[in-house]
Amino acid sequence: MSTLRAPRRWTGPGFETFGSIFGFIYTFLAGNVLLAVANAPLVLCLALVADPAAAWPFFLALSVTIAPSLAGIFTAFKALNDDGGAVMPVAAFLRGYKRSFTRSAPLGLGAVALLLFLGVDLAIIQSMPAAVLVPLIVVVAAVTVSLAVTAIAGVVLLPEAKLKSILKASLFLVIQRWYLSLAMLVLLGIIVSAAVLQPVLGIALAPAPLLFVIWSNASYAFHAVLRAA
């Protein structure tokens, strides 16, 4: 005589799964708002100026505020990894912004100053026989951006390390893991393009998810080096 088996109970995603998804969404939404507030002069000018490319030195100078805000959003991402659904991104952002400001701000200032110098040089030599130097200038600019962003991630990951040591490690990672640096530049390019073409919508939606990918790659690279050391 056969016996009937009770239907197997279906178990859907647990509370932790939903909490984790909510943590990501909340962190991304709050992160975009916090980034916009921390870089309010830049965001406002992007929304008001019709052709930002024509005034690129002005906008590049305004971008000096980006570095501390990157430290803030990277700290929020670190908290997301540590706390999951219980993450408090606003508190983490403010904590990271304040704690890392004295080291991330000089990194941003140095990167902006060097990019301004390279941009002026590029504008000057494009119409000269020395135009052969254009690829070199572009490469140096790309390395500058990659180094600055990677170093800011290092400041968040290694708060006790000296800035000089972080810069050396970051330069090593930028060169050794060039494919991650290239991916970073592509993602940053998407963020910049979105902010220039659609300042309000682009800044409201694009930065945080793409910066999370950049942060994840930088964090992986630093941890890989630490494990190998």
pLDDT beyond 60 at 1: no
Q: Which residue has the higher pLDDT, 229 or 225?
A: 225
Among candidate residues 90, 31, 50, 23, the one with its CA nearest the CA of residue 208: 31
Q: pLDDT tens, 16-35?
A: 565 677 778 888 999 999 99
> What's residue 3's pLDDT?
47
> What's residue 74's pLDDT?
96
Among candidate residues 103, 23, 110, the one with its CA nearest the CA of residue 71: 103
> What's residue 67's pLDDT?
96
Q: pLDDT tens, 103-139?
A: 999 999 999 999 999 998 888 887 776 667 788 899 9
What distance in Å separates the CA atoms of residue 45 and residue 58, rounded to the nearest whole number?
10
Compute and round to an integer the Cα radius of gyration of the chain: 21
Would you place residue 202 in the very low, low, confident or very high pLDDT band (cuts 50, 70, 90)?
confident
> What's residue 228's pLDDT?
62
pLDDT beyond 50 at 143: yes
